[in-house]
Structure 1
């Protein structure tokens, strides 16, 4: 299958490595060709995982987005949610009927990007799918090397327009066999997003150690019983919103990530993450994606959905308020919300009907 992978982050490199190694024709795009560095020089990147280290070659490396997506059945865009508007503007002139864009995860980008594409004059009959997490626990070791700690075995995925879900997910499943689990629509997929549940308590409740120590692993030293309790309460609010909106189980409770093999990454995923050492990272509260994506986009969306649907979410609202104090910004007013998406006047039934047909 012809696949375009867009972006230069950890998930993008993991996507190129796995999909090219699986035999797909992968085109790798970044905005600036120089940013490819050694990947462009070699025409390949280095993949490290449990099988060892080897070189993987995409079909094409380019900074021409039209070239990247031309003829691609699947466009994989593991970019942060705050980059989706810019990506939509770049993609708008180049998309054609029946292409599938896959956002892992999307933070309701399945709707936001499609609305942005329509606003830019793109009328192609495309489908946008989003899931609850990256298909990989991965980190770039350097400019040319990606390390994959583990791969997702369950990816709950929703589509906008939902009426084309079966068609879209057949394409996505060809790239991620035996992992895709259909959910009702793009909002259901967005409400599976694990980032706004895992990361806000980990960074806000560990703010002192993060700023004080040279090295502080929020997934190891920073994951203590009190924080796990906050995780549980916050995740309970997410699930309550899903239930209020009529979305069916399984809801993929976060506790399964820590306690069972039933979650998205399967057996011992948290232990593997900690053991890898790849999550000892510098965390700047102003710019890090845990703040800019998981809180300003994802947690703001969760709080607004709770208010809009009449579902109390005091833990989510409290964490969002603390994050606003940390950044000096009103993240509830300025983040991704039902208001900023133009959806505040919809009823739940009207919203689901629109998501079925697309904006």
Structure 2
């Protein structure tokens, strides 16, 4: 399959490397082109190796003929990316935000605003997770510690989900694709706002002090796990109120024996383990800029609109608003759950 990868971050590097090794024809668009990079160094359970890869900054050339366009970028970039993609998109192509946070709806709207007559059969979709736990170890090196075994999927208008699911199954044959009712259904399976919000905000003092600190290690202790599960119960209550069916993929399954998106944590861990400490700032780090400012705000907005009690989500959003000095409740109006179509 001809697959185009958009971006130059952790997910894009992992996507280019894995899909190239899976013998797909991969094109890669990255701002600034190849940056002198002609191969990606991959570190995982199989050791260290180089995978041929060369990015282009010619978006039209990168998209021409692609069946599947993967956008493994933070949700903060989705609107700008959609506007840039719009002039080059062709009939029958599928654009997938990984993960979405309702990004497929945002991207579809932005693309239509940039190009009111979009090609026929163009589809925007999103997954509830990124199929890798991965970090760039250097400008040319990606460390993959875990590959996902399951992804939820929804489309911006709730249509053609099975067709998009088949494309993803071809691209990722080792991953179970759970086709959900629509984009919001998939977005509300994203556990990152529930996972990362307590880790960041309940450890804010230690993080701000700037010393070595691993939020997924010493930052994930019993009291924080209890709060995560309570916050997750609010997420699930929102899903149930909106009529979305199980499985809801409770976060407890991430830490326990249940089926979650990464059910074999660390199975791809390199022989030389990567440095676990990751510096978190309260402005640009994706745990804040994406998972709180966008993901948690989505939960709070839905709870408000549908009269659902969500005291922890509201409280955390108020706390984050105080830290960032702006009201994070001021989010754009969401489309009605019963009418997500934007195409």
Q: Which TM-score applies when normalising by structure 1?
A: 0.90
Structure 2 partner of 1:117: 111
Q: CA deviation at 1:159?
A: 1.4
Equivalent residue in structure 1 for 2:130, among 131, 134, 143: 134
SS of the residue 2:90 aligns to:
coil
Distance 1:176 1:259, change over 3 A: same
Q: CA deviation at 1:311?
A: 1.2
Contact 1:257 1:270 in 2 (8 A): no
Equivalent residue in structure 2 for 1:244, among 221, 241, 246: 241
Aligned pairs for 1:168-317 (under 5 A) are 168-177=164-173, 178-269=175-266, 276-317=273-314
Contact 1:258 1:270 in 2 (8 A): no
Contact 1:261 1:268 in 2 (8 A): no
Q: CA deviation at 1:37?
A: 3.3
Which runs of 5 or more residues in structure 2 are unaligned?
Answer: none
Q: CA deviation at 1:279?
A: 3.9
Instruction: Output the CA distance in 1 between the equivalents of 2:143 and 2:36.
Output: 16
SS of the residue 2:213 aligns to:
coil
Structure 2 partner of 1:30: 30
Structure 2 partner of 1:330: 327
Over 3 Å off, 4+ runs: 268-273, 275-279
SS of the residue 1:130 aligns to:
strand
Q: Deviations over 1:181-228 (max 9, x none)?
A: 111110001101121111110011111111224210000010011100
Equivalent residue in structure 1 for 2:139, among 143, 148, 152: 143
Instruction: Output the CA distance in 2 between the equivalents of 1:225 and 1:317.
Output: 22
Q: Deviations over 1:108-147 (max 9, x none)?
A: 0111110111111251231122122110000000000001
Let me know the Cα RMSD of the aligned residues.
1.9
Instruction: Output the CA distance in 2 between the equivalents of 1:342 and 1:319.
Output: 20
SS of the residue 1:113 aligns to:
helix
Q: CA deviation at 1:96?
A: 1.0
Q: CA deviation at 1:270?
A: 10
Contact 2:143 2:274 in 1 (8 A): no
Instruction: Output the CA distance in 1 between the equivalents of 2:266 and 2:246.
Output: 22
Q: Deviations over 1:292-341 (max 9, x none)?
A: 111111110110011111111110110000001111111111xxx4xx14
Instruction: Output the CA distance in 2 between the equivalents of 1:194 and 1:272.
Output: 22
Structure 2 partner of 1:89: 83
Instruction: Output the CA distance in 2 between the equivalents of 1:271 and 1:22.
Output: 16
Alignment length (residue pairs): 339
Residues 83-92 or 169-178, more deviating:
169-178
Q: CA deviation at 1:78?
A: 0.8
Instruction: Output the CA distance in 1 between the equivalents of 2:273 and 2:11.
Output: 16
Structure 2 partner of 1:49: 44
Which runs of 5 or more residues in structure 1 are unaligned?
Answer: none
Instruction: Output the CA distance in 2 between the equivalents of 1:142 and 1:22.
Output: 23
Instruction: Output the CA distance in 1 between the equivalents of 2:114 and 2:9.
Output: 26
Instruction: Output the CA distance in 1 between the equivalents of 2:147 and 2:275.
Output: 15
Q: Which TM-score applies when normalising by structure 2?
A: 0.94
Instruction: Output the CA distance in 2 between the equivalents of 1:139 and 1:293.
Output: 17
State whether structure 2 residue 159 is matched by structure 1 residue 167: no
Q: Deviations over 1:146-167 (max 9, x none)?
A: 0100101011111123221111
